[in-house]
């Protein structure tokens, strides 16, 4: 896309995204709160049943208008409120951070059996992205009444370990502040860091498993 086209696209997008979020933000907040409540309840039941806390902490956010525009621009998507509602599935987002890899899958299983409708699930732990990104991502559909009709509102849930979360936060910060001349070297070094942290995650999981096995003997 040419620079002048980007400016025109961005200018049009600002008005449309502002309108979309003004009309729909409260519904995304409501859907996100429902998922949070469901997650907290399922988490409590899991702890009572297994005497183990699989969650280190939980965060939630509503995507900023600027972030929505950037995502649409990145994928060269046409701009309309319909396109936003159909293509942007992470306007509402929840991040669940766990201590151990097995806990990530335990939380995913909790969500899968919670009554929430899972419409998408991608395992970037077993199959990391090329840049080293690891996480288990799910999108659930939450039915909300809008204008006397039930409408499914998507909420994206990222589930990752503490190590994956550290890498994700620092990768975003370092990549954002880097200049293009150093992008290839930065990409390679960050990928190496991701692989090293994945090895640590695996080792830590092994230590935990051994400890649990010994405690039962």
User: Under CATH, which number does the domain 3-163 receive?
Assistant: 3.30.460.10
Question: Is 128 a residue whose pLDDT tops 90?
Answer: yes
Q: Which of 145-149, 156-160, 172-176 has the highest mean pLDDT?
A: 156-160
> What is the band of 184 on the pLDDT scale with cuts at 50, 70, 90?
confident
pTM for this predicted structure: 0.90
Per-residue model confidence as pLDDT tens digits over 31-54: 999 999 999 999 999 999 999 999
> What is the band of 172 on the pLDDT scale with cuts at 50, 70, 90?
confident
| DSSP one-letter string for the chain | --HHHHHHHHHHHHHHHHHHHHHHHHHHHHHHHHHHHHHHHHHHHHHHHHS----SEEEEEE--HHHHHHHHHHTT----HHHHHHH---SEEEEEEESSHHHHHHHHHHHHTTT-EEEEEEETTTS--TT----EEEEEEEEEEETTEEEEEEEEEEEEEHHHHHHHHHHHHHHHH--GGGHHHHHHHHHHHHHHHHHHHHHHHHHHHHHHHHHH-
Question: Is 178 a residue whose pLDDT tops 70?
Answer: no
2-6, 30-34, 106-110, range with the lowest pLDDT: 2-6
Tell me the mean pLDDT in the region 110-120: 94
> What is the band of 64 on the pLDDT scale with cuts at 50, 70, 90?
very high
Question: Is 177 a residue whose pLDDT tops 80?
Answer: no
Question: Is 175 a residue whose pLDDT tops 90?
Answer: no
């Amino acid at each position: 896309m040419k620079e002048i086209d980007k400016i025109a696209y961005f200018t049009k997008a600002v008005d449309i995204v502002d309108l979309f979020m003004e009309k729909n933000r409260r519904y995304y907040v409501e859907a996100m709160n429902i998922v949070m409540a469901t997650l907290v309840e399922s988490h409590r039941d899991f702890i009572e049943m297994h005497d183990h806390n699989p969650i280190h902490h939980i965060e939630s956010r509503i995507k900023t208008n600027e972030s929505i525009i950037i995502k649409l621009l990145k994928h060269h998507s046409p701009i309309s409120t319909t396109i936003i509602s159909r293509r942007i599935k992470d306007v509402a987002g929840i991040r669940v951070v766990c201590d151990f890899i097995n806990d990530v899958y335990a939380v995913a299983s909790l969500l899968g059996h919670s009554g929430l409708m899972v419409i998408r699930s991608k395992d970037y732990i077993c199959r990391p992205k090329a840049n080293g990104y690891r996480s288990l991502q799910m999108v659930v559909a939450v039915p909300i009444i809008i204008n006397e009709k039930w409408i499914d509102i998507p909420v994206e849930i990222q589930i990752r370990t503490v190590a994956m979360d550290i890498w994700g936060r620092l990768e975003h910060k370092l990549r954002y502040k880097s200049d293009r001349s150093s992008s290839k070297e930065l990409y390679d070094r960050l990928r190496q860091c991701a692989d090293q942290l994945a090895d640590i995650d695996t080792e830590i999981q092994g230590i935990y498993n051994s400890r649990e096995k010994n405690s039962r003997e």
